[in-house]
Amino acid sequence: MINKERLGELLVEKEIISPVQLTEALLQQETLQLPLGETLISLGYITENQLLHFLSQQLEVDFINLSENDFHAIDRSLVNILPLQVCQTHKVLPVFVLDVENIRQITLAMSNPLNEDAIHEVEEKTLCQVTPVLTISSDIDGGIRRLFQLEDVTREAISPEELPQIIEDRVQFVNKLLAEAIQLKASDIHIEPHAREAHVRFRLDGVLHMIQTLPLAEIPPIISRLKIMGSEHHSSMQLDKKNIPHEGSFARVVGGHNVDFRICTFPTIYGEKAALRILDKTSRASISTITDMMMAPDTMRRFLRSIKQASGIIIATGPTGSGKTTTLHAAINEINEVGLNIVTVEDPVEYHAGDFINQSNILPQVGFTYPRALRSLLRQDPDVILVGEIRDLETAEIAVQAALTGHLVFTTMHTDDAAGAVIRLVDLGIEEFLVSSTVVSSINQRLLRKNCPHCSEDYLPSREEMVDLMIDTEVIDEILQNVDRYTIQKGHGCPLCRNSGYQGRQGVYEFLSVTPAIKKMILEKETSDIISFRAREQQQLNMLFEDGLRLVLTGVTSFEELKRVPRGDYPMRSIEEMLKIADGET
């Protein structure tokens, strides 16, 4: 343990302060009645950051940054186990709790990890073993204010003592919940009644996380409040009809963010559940560029070439939440210029584009549907049209007609692979010769969580792990025999990634150019599987799973995340060939 005498000696030994400065600090300490470290800081002999990094090395205690940008790492439910008074008295902040070998441990941010009184009181209050981490004092103060929502009336803290009062005020409780979701950058909120209690979960980086549990009796009034809010733009959210689904939407300014919420309620055996989709227009104000998407070099080159065509249809495909809208907005942002009239019709507008791009929401409840909007848009002298989604034959027919008459059309569909999107148009009722004449390209994608940059370490996967992913035996042998050539990593979990091992998301892509050979296969009514297989050989194309494996071998994501990508029924190339194709070297 480092006492004040030993601390001073070590600082002098490491030439961080001089012997004269140490003597002066020890004399001043008696007057200031402060710990030696704080005295040195107050005298200007050392900065708090220098002191904490020094202590981190000497005590072998992790140092974490809890500034505004990294506050999302904290488990917000900890307000229910450690009172505000304890945090303020000892200047500590709970970060997260986990079970290690049946021992419940709490990671505690402290500016002074030698404060045994603080550690003992936290252990008594939480019944957890404390693992201290070093944090700048001002960050702890700010973290306490944000964790306990002391900065904003709409974000007051929910402690066990205050919970009944706050839940009685439904407006306040719901506002706090929405603010918390925005702060954590959640994409969805789920409020779900079950047999004994209700769960509140947020979707973070594509995965649901438990945020809070509530008594079952509190859920109906919370759902009612959300229905009232959701009726701002819809009249169908009836409070008394609890045995049928309801949909609605509303807009709010939350913590300085302009946010649209889409709410859907659904009856379950334990009562109504609610799901809210969050569209944070403030955080989406800056549209991603094609470069930001970190496609493989060859995929990026082909995609850029396709979006600069004068006419045709470009399709982004994949399941809901796979980043299709982001891809298309990056594309129209790439080609946007004063000489083009670019118009969009979406459901709803998620990104607010820049100058010269005109955006519109469809409103089916008043008859303003995709087909009606597209017909009208064609009389608006457009050069480029973005259609949020092709769902039916009527929309598909108008999109094809627009492409045939010299317009470039971007749209999305829901299929499993890039070739499937092309064949889906045929399945909707579009003639094969029209599909082959108009579709320029199709890009299939998924989003995978990225390894946390703060806690990722080199990792050697087992053969069994790769066999479970259905990686070909020859490819597994190649990986294991040449593992030193790759950067295979896995996050072990830390405060900055909520102990998940991941932070942020990255797209994986499969790009199909509709070449003359592909057009011929469409006219011959080949299946999407055959088109994919032949395109893979003819175009030297990496499939979705292969692009995901590329990201694993370059340390971007993990083998665990690769399970989210469909494997496909095709023999894999060697890793060397796969990487050459990705770099465009074939």
C-alpha 573/C-alpha 550 separation (Å) is: 12
Residues 494, 488 contacting (CB under 8 angstroms): no
Tell me the pairing of strands 439-451 and 312-317: parallel
Residues 369, 361 contacting (CB under 8 angstroms): no
Please report, in angstroms and rounded to a whole number, the separation of the first and last CA atoms in the chain.
Answer: 60
Q: Which two tokens stand for residue 397?
A: 């027919």
153-280 is classed CATH 3.30.450.90 = yes
Q: Which two tokens stand for residue 396?
A: 């598909």
In this prediction, residue 165 carries a pLDDT of 56
153, burial (CB in 10 Å: exposed 0-12, middle 13-18, buried 19+): exposed
Residues 469, 557 contacting (CB under 8 angstroms): no
User: Got the DSSP string for 240-261?
Assistant: T--SS-EEEEEEEEETTEEEEE
Tokens 């307000």 appear where?
A: 79
C-alpha 278/C-alpha 440 separation (Å) is: 32
> In Å, how far are 22, 43, 289, 458, 560 from 137, measured between CA atoms?
22, 17, 38, 32, 37
**Sheet with strand 92-100: strands edge to edge:** 92-100, 103-110, 129-134
In this prediction, residue 3 carries a pLDDT of 52
C-alpha 257/C-alpha 448 separation (Å) is: 26
Q: Tens digits of per-residue pLDDT, 260-284? A: 899 999 999 999 999 999 988 776 6
C-alpha 569/C-alpha 529 separation (Å) is: 9
Amino acid at 503: Q
C-alpha 71/C-alpha 93 separation (Å) is: 11
What global pTM score does this model have? 0.69
Residues 6+ apart with CB under 8 A from 214: 167, 197, 198, 199, 200, 222
- The arrangement of secondary structure in 68-147, i.e. its CATH architecture, is 2-Layer Sandwich (3.30)
Residues 555, 488 contacting (CB under 8 angstroms): yes
Burial 381-398 (b: 16+ CB within 10 A, else e): ebbbbbbbbbbeebbbbb
Q: What is the pLDDT along the chain (586 residues), one digit of tens a residue?
A: 455 557 788 888 888 888 888 888 888 877 767 778 778 887 888 887 788 778 877 777 888 777 644 555 566 667 777 888 888 888 899 888 877 667 888 889 988 887 888 999 999 888 889 988 888 877 888 788 777 765 443 344 445 555 555 545 677 888 889 988 988 889 999 999 998 889 999 999 889 998 888 888 889 889 988 988 888 765 567 777 888 999 888 888 887 778 889 999 999 999 999 999 998 877 665 567 888 888 999 999 999 999 999 999 999 999 988 999 999 999 999 999 999 999 999 988 888 787 889 999 988 878 899 999 999 999 999 999 999 999 999 999 999 999 999 999 999 999 999 999 999 999 999 999 999 999 999 999 999 999 999 999 998 889 999 999 999 999 999 999 998 999 999 998 887 787 889 999 999 999 999 999 999 999 999 999 999 989 888 877 889 999 999 999 999 999 999 999 998 888 888 998 888 888 877 6
Q: How many residues does the chain have?
A: 586
| SS3 category, 481 | helix
Q: Which two tokens stand for residue 90?
A: 């000892």
In this prediction, residue 154 carries a pLDDT of 37
291-582 is classed CATH 3.40.50.300 = yes
Residues 504, 556 contacting (CB under 8 angstroms): no
Q: Where are the domains of the chain?
A: 4-59, 68-147, 153-280, 291-582
Q: Which two tokens stand for residue 203?
A: 């979707």
Q: What are phi and psi of 249, to 5 degrees?
A: -155, 160
For 574, which DSSP code?
A: P
CA atoms within 13 A on the CB side of 486: 24
Amino acid at 393: L
In this prediction, residue 149 carries a pLDDT of 61
For 63, which DSSP code?
A: B
For 288, which DSSP code?
A: P
For 333, which DSSP code?
A: H
In this prediction, residue 170 carries a pLDDT of 72
**Dihedral of CA 53/59/60/61: which sign?**
negative
Q: In the beta sheet, which residues pair with residue 315?
A: 411, 442
C-alpha 228/C-alpha 355 separation (Å) is: 35
> In Å, how far are 146, 393, 515, 542 from 572, measured between CA atoms?
49, 36, 23, 9
Q: Which two tokens stand for residue 365?
A: 């409840």
Q: Which two tokens stand for residue 364?
A: 């089916």
In this prediction, residue 68 carries a pLDDT of 47
